Structure 1
Amino acid sequence: MEFKQCLKERANFIENILKEYMPKEEGHQKTIIEAMNYSLSAGGKRLRPILTLEACKIVGGNEADAIPFAVAIEMIHTYSLIHDDLPAIDNDDLRRGRKTNHIVFGEDMAILAGDALLNYAFELMLSTSINKENPQKYLKAINEIAKASGIYGMIGGQVVDVQSENKEISKEKLDYIHNNKTAAIIIGCMRAGAIIGDATEIELESITKYAKNIGLSFQIVDDILDIIGDEAKLGKKVGSDIENHKSTYPSLLGLEKSKEIAYELIDEAKKSIKLINKDIRFLNGLAEYIIDREY
């Protein structure tokens, strides 16, 4: 099967399970659940939950055990997008081809929708793990996601990103932003999936290196697409990095050098995953998709 078709089928699977795990839009919580669903159901590549399941599968685990974690990671990712789009941060009015959450529901409800998705993600992971035969394994997986999305991961990267606007920063600081704001959550979701699948230390290390490399490459490609991308395909406004005076790989190193580094990272990712003696075709295809994507 062609990789893009395979990716589409997996994304459709994620779409369906997201609907299953979200609460009904009713009662006093109706408005907040509507706001949560509005952004969660807006589509997207669904790479993070797909990677969670693939990491579990590739080490010989049961994908079904990792499904609540895949759903939770997409909730966490979506909450971060809702908050990123707020006027106080990126002030975007378009996300995934539709109006951003705060434009539709107001800033107050958008903030609460993001908070609710984050909290519900951990409620979901914990509630489906406490009665498992080996709860300690699942707690380790939850800890991976908590660290990846917290002050020493995604939020830490976002803080430095906000503080660096309108400033010239070093490549070292830019790498810190990208490795934490973007790559950390990819690393966390893949490590969580691998832990649930009972990965060996060698397998876990290999998956970690793969995730780190594709995560950084993904963000570099995002930086590039913000300059040369097609807004209709991206589903969001281009040129926002320049508008918000953000340092990016292209602004520091130029487009061609940025592309070269992104390709090198993908090559490293593919090398690292070879250490896993399983069917790695999907992960190789995903690495190539990241570097060649237009949206």
Structure 2
Amino acid sequence: MFARPVTTFDLVPRRVRVHAVRRLTGSMVRTTFRDAPGADGASGADGVTGSGGTTGAAASSVAALHAPGPDDHVKVFLPDPATGVLHAPTLAPDGGIQRPAGGVSISREMTVRATRTVDGAGEVDVDWVLHAGDGPASAWAAAAREGDEVVLVGPGTSRAVPAGIGRLTLAVDETGLPAAARWSAAVGPGVRVTAIVEIGDDTDEDVVEAELAGADVEILYRSDGPGQLAEAVRSLGTPDDDEYVVALGEAGELVPLRRHLRGLGVGPDLSTVAGYWRRGTVNLDPDAPLDPNDPT
């Protein structure tokens, strides 16, 4: 059995500006954010609660954004697609986040791919998958340019990598690739990592393999039909006693995969299974039940 230590952070709205845009593949874009003018970095660290208690006050600078867990995510608030105006959320008296009363407020939950400091400036990378249909998030990411502004909120909760993993199995699609890359790096070179990644035809295999450097990577193509992730995991057999399984991606595709793991006795203490999107659903909460008919 494995335990993922949990740390909670104060929620802070951070107004940030696109510093760089990199097209990873035909359907994936990486945006690098730095502080927009006016960010407050004086307090130096977010308030954090964990095994060590609370430390510091919250700062609005990107340099104070902490995302130590491999699948930590932020809520990205985007400009109104009709007007281009960014209606920023504010901090409510109870410590939660309050959307503005007027104007369109669009947000999406996104994995933090990386954080760092460059020449004294904090940076955070977010990778976007450009889904067909030109939804507001995909449209924004596809057109993002240096200087564009958004607001980041979170992470509010961070879950660390469990200690003692001897082997890691990852089963993800493109939306889970940033977290999978962080999981693979976090367990270290002494842990064997098997990564099964389902991609579309416009995703470059070389990018997937580069993101998962050091892992044994198997690539599946979505055009070959549904159910491939679950079938690929079944083909691996029964997990080892010290093996941990991470499955991230389209919620419907992960339901049979989780059912298979349960049948092998691989429950939440030995796995992390989360739907990052769901066909026909706008802005799925990654913490929502994977299967509404079986929310356990």
Normalised to the residue count of structure 1, the TM-score between the two structures is 0.30
Greater helix share, structure number: 1
TM-score by length of 2: 0.30
Instruction: Write 1 or 2 for the structure with the bigger share of strand.
Output: 2
